[in-house]
Structure 1
């Protein structure tokens, strides 16, 4: 059986506008009803983002502290190596100076002994 109702263009437009208005009203009602939950989710997301940023900053701070510690240790090791090198050079120089002093003392003692023998020989001849 055919529909007995006669749908004109104007009737269809009115029905479409009413349906759109009903959908819009339903959407607005759902949005106002879900507003507290949406706000709670948004606040929770903001808290998660803040916590994530705080953890990132903490990781960067720890990384910087570790880099500073490593740099300090490297500088201390370098200073120790340099100090050891300076001490070794000074020890070599002092040993060289001591050897030279001993050689000079031995030479002076030998000359003094030679001069003494020469003086004794001259004294016997006179």
Structure 2
């Protein structure tokens, strides 16, 4: 029974060259892609991109609508707060006038 013979550097390099050459030959011998299949893939990719763009536009419109609603709500709250302050001032002025009227 023969013992294991460790391959030296030259043998390993030759094996690596042969493996690379086999891979290159395999790529060269690969058949060209079918034009109909390629056209179908490109059409599917274009459809995916259109759907993605539509979703992005829809999301942007929804964000804009939410921002507008938030602005409108903030403006309404500010107006209500301002009106409340004015009403408080009017009530305070009325109390002051009533007190002055009682004192006379």
**What is the aligned partner in structure 2 of residue 62 from structure 1?**
69
Of residues 66, 69, 72, the one that matches 2:79 is: 72
**What is the aligned partner in structure 1 of residue 50 from structure 2?**
43
List gaps (5 residues or longer) in structure 2: 1-14
List gaps (5 residues or longer) in structure 1: 1-7, 98-126
**What is the aligned partner in structure 2 of residue 87 from structure 1?**
94
Number of matched residues? 87
Relative to its length, the structure with more helix (as a share) is: 1
When Rg is computed on C-alpha atoms for both structures, the one with the higher figure is 1
**Following the alignment from structure 2 to structure 1, what is the Cα–Cα distance between the partners of residues 93 and 42?**
75
Superposed counterparts of 1:28-39, under 5 Å: 31-39=38-46
Task: Report the TM-score when normalising by structure 2.
Answer: 0.69
Superposed counterparts of 1:8-27, under 5 Å: 13=21, 15-21=22-28, 22=30, 25-26=32-33
* RMSD between aligned residues: 2.9
Give the direction of change, closer, same or farther, for the CA distance of 1:12–1:88 in structure 2 (3 Å limit): closer
**Following the alignment from structure 1 to structure 2, what is the Cα–Cα distance between the partners of residues 10 and 55?**
59
